[in-house]
Structure 1
Amino acid sequence: MKTTAVRVAIGALMFGSLLSAAHAGEKITLMVGGMEKQIYLPAKLAERLGYFKEQGLDVELVNEAAGVDAENELIAGAVQGVVGFYDHTIDLQAKGKYIESVVQFSHTPGEVELISSKLADKIKTPADFGGKTLGVTGLGSSTNFLTQYLAVSHGVPVSEVTSLAVGAGNTFIAALKQGKIDGGMTTEPTVSRLIDTGAAKVLVDLRSPASTQKWLGGLYPAASLYMQNDWVNSHKATVQKLSNAFVKTLRYVCTHSADEIAAQMPADYYAGDKAMYVKALSVGKVSFIADGRMPESGPATVLKVLSSFDKAVTGHKIDLSKTYTTEFVSAAQVK
């Protein structure tokens, strides 16, 4: 009897181990270019809603303040994917490196060019950027790209504007209040924190489709999940699972209120003011794309913007078809 009991116990343990192995998630590391930024909200939200685990994935989200550093980690093979701006795919292709957006989160940057309230009467349009120091998350980041475009498209050479890497959140706020920058490009909730205290005013708003078309000449696909093309082609099953999770998350964002979405997020993302966070999200929600599909006109707009100032892109032939794919989001829709 004892022998039988021992065999049963061993069998149960072995079955339990096999079951655990079967349910153990496939490990994936994604770097997010600023986890607390509302433009990248789908990354943390997917985790909080359990959509990664639902797909059999064990996803680790790693925070990185600047998108340019995140892309470097991807190219180095330290992470499998990045939640960051689509424009990096074009900039890197011009440098001989191929990455692509596999899920497009938004069709607008969701960014705002703020100006110190002390200088609001002197800086009324981007044409007044000459001789000014403007904050960006990092040199070579998407905020840097967009700031440079606003300058050159208003007749101000890039050489006449100083871009200073100040990150986002508290570091951006400190730089503005201490006078280290005259203004800068940032996103929510940093925007609302500065506006509510009266420290800054909005100069250029790139959150809505209408304002984005006004300033950039068309929709500007921004936040996305991008990965190296070769890795995508050799790990299609995994990429499909990630796409399934993110498309489901984007549907959640587009079918739930800002209050409901905020309730799913970590409390420290509110920066001490949940009501402000919800208000900002209710405005910014318009940036997100429900089906994760790249807007048809978007890549050409981004290429036009980068070609106007980015020496790496200007004069180079860019194959836009290699900067994004809709294969996985299309399959996720069917599923």
Structure 2
Amino acid sequence: MNNLTRIAGAAVVAIALGGLVGTVRAAERITIMVGGVNKLIYLPAILTERLGYFKQAGLNVDVVTEPAGVNAEDEMIAGAVQGVVGFYDHTIDLQSKGTEVISLVQLTKTPGEVELVSARDATHIKTPADLKGKVLGVTDLGSSTDFLTQYLMTGAGFSRHDYKMVAVSAGTTFIDAMRSHRIAAGMTTDPTAAELLASGEAKILVDLRTEAGTRAALGGDYPAGCLYMPSAWVEGHRAEAGKLVRAFVKTLHYMHRHTAAQIVELLPSSYYGRRKTLYTTALEAFLPMFSSDGRMPADGPANVLRLLSTIEPSVKSGYVDLSKTYTSEFVDAAAR
């Protein structure tokens, strides 16, 4: 065999091996955990999967769920999952406790949450200032609904000893807690909120589903739903991170170019059950809360830090580098 033949043979082997490595790398399983996959605020996670955008990007992604974002966060820290679709505020909270995670793409511009008061108590509970001594429902202790509830109560002049918070998750467990009088008020998202409002069992106390409502209650923008991942994982998997962001940005574009009814048709029936019309109406009303491009609002991180510093001792006493809690690099690349 002459040298030219040997070189040609080696080149063929190298190309074959390169293709094999690329195949293996593309097939590497990435698990993304969602803090309540059927919550309206996290719709882009399941929608990206249903639209096939992960596969189109050459990714092997599993979307799994936990009832609350704080539980999903724990799974990520333990290494059981690679990323979380949850609230951006967790990136700040975790950094203040020594864990570096980073938001790669912003999915919602507002929390998408609503503080509901039971209809039976609505006559004497008109604002958060009327909640002293009451039992308040949150998704879980340490969750973003916990953070937001604490902030609203602090703004009303109360300390943590002036009210009680209990974990009631979302969906049927939240609804049951309100129906059984376990909670006088609570913070939740659609479609849970939509169901209680439609039945007349609850009234709105504070609405964080719109930008105007969010700014009025929280003093500025509060970017919420995002994809965040361990900073070390992102640095070691930059190609995969870029593909994930491109897939999510495509979904955001899709959401702003299609009707709520068209989007709902793509979802599993378990998302809306026998309340498809109610789910569709809620989505139609609050589609504007979803980002159109995945970018972080300019003053969003500073406002989230300000809020958390008000209620979280570890955030208040420590130093948080906001530049390490999110990046626009992959969103910029997706735009190009």
Tell me, yes or no, if structure 1 residue 254 matches structure 2 residue 238.
no
Correspondence for 1:307:
309
CA contact (8 A) 1:218 1:298 kept: yes
Correspondence for 1:192:
194
Q: Cα offset for 1:21?
A: 5.2
| Code of the aligned partner of 2:67 | A
Q: Give the SS at the match of 1:74.
A: helix
Q: Do the aligned partners of residues 235 and 23 (structure 1) sit closer, same or farther apart at CA in structure 2, a change above 3 Å counting? A: closer
2:93 to 88, 91, 94: 91
When normalised by structure 2's length, the TM-score is: 0.92
Correspondence for 1:71:
73
| Code of the aligned partner of 2:299 | S
| Code of the aligned partner of 2:222 | Y
Q: Cα offset for 1:328?
A: 0.5
Correspondence for 1:296:
298
Correspondence for 2:177:
175
Correspondence for 1:39:
41
Q: Cα offset for 1:197?
A: 1.1
CA contact (8 A) 1:207 1:286 kept: no
CA contact (8 A) 1:158 1:309 kept: no
Q: How many residues align?
A: 319
2:217 to 215, 218, 221: 215
| Code of the aligned partner of 1:297 | D
Deviations 1:190-242 (A, max 9, x none): 00111111111111000111111010011100000000111111110000010
Q: Cα offset for 1:257?
A: 1.1
Q: Once superposed, what is the RMSD of the aligned Cα atoms?
A: 1.8
Deviations 1:94-148 (A, max 9, x none): 1111111101101100000000001001211011121011111100000010011
Q: Do the aligned partners of residues 153 and 241 (structure 1) sit closer, same or farther apart at CA in structure 2, a change above 3 Å counting? A: same
Equivalent-residue separation in structure 2 for 1:68 and 1:22 (angstroms): 32
| Code of the aligned partner of 2:93 | D
Q: Cα offset for 1:22?
A: 7.2
Q: Cα offset for 1:44?
A: 0.4
Correspondence for 2:231:
229
| Code of the aligned partner of 1:76 | A
Q: Do the aligned partners of residues 76 and 315 (structure 1) sit closer, same or farther apart at CA in structure 2, a change above 3 Å counting? A: same
| Code of the aligned partner of 1:110 | G
Correspondence for 2:265:
263
Equivalent-residue separation in structure 1 for 2:193 and 2:27 (angstroms): 37
**Which structure 2 segments of 5+ residues have no match?**
1-15
Q: Cα offset for 1:154?
A: 1.3
Correspondence for 1:332:
334
2:246 to 241, 244, 247: 244
Q: Cα offset for 1:24?
A: 6.5
Q: Give the SS at the match of 1:174.
A: helix
Q: Give the SS at the match of 2:120.
A: helix
Q: Cα offset for 1:267?
A: 1.1
**1:272-287 matched pairs, under 5 angstroms:** 272-287=274-289
Correspondence for 2:5:
none
Q: Give the SS at the match of 1:224.
A: strand
| Code of the aligned partner of 1:256 | H
Equivalent-residue separation in structure 2 for 1:286 and 1:208 (angstroms): 8
Equivalent-residue separation in structure 2 for 1:78 and 1:286 (angstroms): 33
Equivalent-residue separation in structure 2 for 1:24 and 1:303 (angstroms): 36
When normalised by structure 1's length, the TM-score is: 0.92
Equivalent-residue separation in structure 1 for 2:202 and 2:55 (angstroms): 41
Q: Cα offset for 1:271?
A: 3.4
Equivalent-residue separation in structure 1 for 2:226 and 2:26 (angstroms): 26
Q: Give the SS at the match of 1:100.
A: strand
Q: Give the SS at the match of 1:264.
A: coil
**1:22-171 matched pairs, under 5 angstroms:** 25-171=27-173
CA contact (8 A) 1:208 1:284 kept: yes
CA contact (8 A) 1:25 1:53 kept: no
Q: Give the SS at the match of 1:215.
A: helix
Stretches (4+) displaced over 4 A: 20-24
Q: Give the SS at the match of 1:41.
A: helix
Equivalent-residue separation in structure 2 for 1:96 and 1:203 (angstroms): 35
Equivalent-residue separation in structure 1 for 2:26 and 2:91 (angstroms): 32
